[in-house]
Amino acid sequence: MKKQIVILLTALLITSLSYSEALKLQSPGKNLEIEVEVTDYVSWSLFMDGEKVMGPSTISLTLEREGVLGRDTRVRRVTRQSENQIINTPVYRKSEVINHYNQMTVELRDGLGIVFRVYDDGAAYRLTTSFRRDIVILDEEVNMVFPTHEKAWVPYIVPREFDPYSTSFESTYDLLTLDEVVADSLIIMPLLVEAGKNRKIVITEVDLEDYPGMFLTVNNERTGYSARFAPYPLAEERGGHNNLQSIVTKRAEYIAKSEGRRNFPWRAVAVSNKDVELLDNDLVARLASPNRIGDLSWIKPGKVAWDWWNYLNIYNVDFRAGVNTETYKYYIDFAAEYGIEYVILDEGWSEQESLLQIKPYIDLEGIIKHAKDRGVGIILWAGWLPLNQEMDEVMRVYSAMGVAGYKIDFMDRDDQPVVNFYYKVAEMAAKYQQLVNFHGSYKPTGLQFTYPNVITFEGVYGLENVKWTDYLDMPEYDVTIPFIRALAGPMDYTPGAMINSNRWNWRAMHATPMSQGTRCHQLAMYIVYESPLSMMADNPTHYKREHESTRFIASIPTVFDQTVALDGVLGEYVAIARRNGKNWYVGAMTNWDEREITIDFSFLGEGEYDAVIFRDGINADRNGQDYVREVKRVDKGTTMTVNMSTGGGWAASIKRR
């Protein structure tokens, strides 16, 4: 990613043994300010428009040999820096990101450095150390204290019974005050806090490398949240889903072993005065380490026909449907007919013990040739433990065979070795020019910018859950995650259901699943949700029956040049416009409440456009599959009233005349 950089750098040497006044750092627009105090401990506070919204929050790092850094220390030096740059982001929801910030590095006499960075829409800090020998990290103190905490959208961890730090990272949100948060519970990030006056603060982390991921828990004083990290695994055994996972049976007293000279992950907060501002926040893109793989021209985003969600339950064919060669050739023919770039072979194509042992009823070479002849790529599902055991050979063999990439599943951990596994996969897949889709994964933390072949992540309570859940508020969740989970990065929600139901008729079904909400709610997801590799989850037989909807889905790009957040209220509704080339795409979704909103088309350029619109039909509240397709002429002066049914949506493809 080429960068155009303008840098102003100044340094200030602090020589006194103590520093009684706070060190201050303002954002470029001066609306945000960080204050750092170094007394008996180090703390920082964040101000919005002159009012404290976070802090004082203490910071320290506890090492096995060196002790607690950030306690009873003094400032050695403060360095300030300002930077304004453009980062090229070709596999993203926009082609360029403006990276304009002010930065302050505080170096302490005990060897700890803290880099503070502030933007107009967020702030972050990271620790640094410069020891010559390796270090053992016992703990990192991260606190997020809120003077005003009205409520938070809390995604509790759902732990596996064999290890409290093992989870799929798929959770719905509980809307809670601090007093209502369960003590000692683990919370998945991103976490959103409403900090008074409708101000929203989203907590996440960026540049997570060679280090465990961070969970949050309510602090003892109930003034905010503190960090918890999965301890380093000392003993593991094979188990879990289909024996594909490595189950931790013993953990250490420390969280990481590391080189002594390093940068630690960014502790980041995105801020907004209006909910809609969170829909297009680029904090993660700005903080992530830059592209390490160079040329990206071989990376091909797109749609993928997926077999697992629909249980390979095709019909009106003359062969037995299932995990077999004939079925996959049918999926490939469907993909080729509609211009869908990929087909995934989910679990079952290989033996459980080894990805190099192909099931006898799968002619993988024949499937790949059939796909190649039709311009379709093949992606293989992989359990993480078998892949980890044979990674180099698996990628070498299947790259030579023509496999485009992997969907890697069931890591269900974010301790240091598993985080390192992500980087190992990303680097090796890039070597073989293959894509990676992480499922059973923690939230994105910027790896998708460092290795852009890592094209999407799960880490979301997606459509797959309707196959078994008793949760009845998917439409509300669907219009919550664009403000919270999506801020961290792409999410493989796996939309595209063609059987659509209202709240009263919906049932969890495994073989013929249905969505909660309307058809147009599903169509809008392909615009509202960012995922450069976007699944089409339903049955090809259903898609062929629903030709209009399928053509529309297939026509929507998965990466964009520009994003405009049009409107939205957290948990209520969302409306987003995205541009790819000269064409625009607009998606809107609502919760279970019927809703009327106004779309302002002022984002369009000059001239007239034809908008192909899918809107909820008059009976969509009774039958979620009811929709209307219409074509209207629009220009930048157009405003349009959009009516969405209960659990409804609205989607448009807009092309210049």
DSSP 359-411: -TT--HHHHHHHHHHTT-EEEEEEEHHHHHHHHHHHHHHHHHHT--EEEEE--
Taking the C-alpha atoms of residue 495 and residue 110, their distance in angstroms, rounded to an integer, is 51
DSSP-assigned beta bridge partners for residue 103:
81, 117
For residue 346, what are its two tokens?
Answer: 């989910």
- The answer to whether the peptide bond before residue 417 is cis (omega within 30 degrees of 0) is no
Nearest CA among 265, 266, 254, 257 for reference residue 230: 254
Q: Which two tokens stand for residue 304?
A: 């993928």
- Please count the other Cβ atoms lying within 10 Å of the Cβ belonging to residue 413: 29
Residue 505: phi and psi, rounded to 5, are: -100, -10
Residue with tokens 């280090």: 211
Which string of DSSP letters, residue by residue, matches 201-218?
EEEEEE---SS--EEEEE
Closest CA to 493 of 520, 453, 528: 528
Query: Residue 35 has which token pair?
Result: 């204050």
Paired residues of 437 in beta bridges: 407, 456
Q: Give the dihedral of Cα atoms 511, 514, 515, 520; nearest 10 deg.
A: 130
Closest CA to 501 of 425, 426, 592: 592
In the residue annotation, 409 being an active-site residue is answered as yes
* Identity of residue 455: I
Residue 54 tokens read as 């976070």
What is d(CA 81, CA 115) in angstroms, rounded to the nearest whole number? Answer: 10
Looking at beta carbons, which pairs linking 313-318 to residues 24 or more positions away fall under 8 Å?
313/511, 313/512, 313/539, 314/539, 314/540, 314/541, 315/541, 316/541
Q: Among residues 107, 414, 464, 530, which one is catalytic? A: 464
Report how far residue 175's alpha carbon sits from residue 481's, in angstroms, rounded to the nearest whole number.
13
The DSSP secondary-structure symbol of 289 reads P
Active-site choice (33, 409, 415, 530): 409
Q: What gap in Å lies between CA 516 and CA 537, rounded to an integer?
A: 14
Cis peptide before 290 (omega within 30 of 0): no
HSE, CB side, 13 Å, CA atoms: give it for residue 158: 12
Residue 184's Cβ-count burial label (10 Å; 0-12, 13-18, 19+) is exposed
Name the E strands within 13-162. Answer: 19-26, 32-38, 42-48, 51-63, 67-69, 75-88, 96-108, 112-119, 122-130, 135-145, 151-154, 159-160
Rounded Cα distance, 314 and 148, in Å: 54
Cβ pair 270, 487 in contact under 8 A: yes
Query: Is 295 among the catalytic positions?
Result: no
Residues belonging to the active site? 409, 464
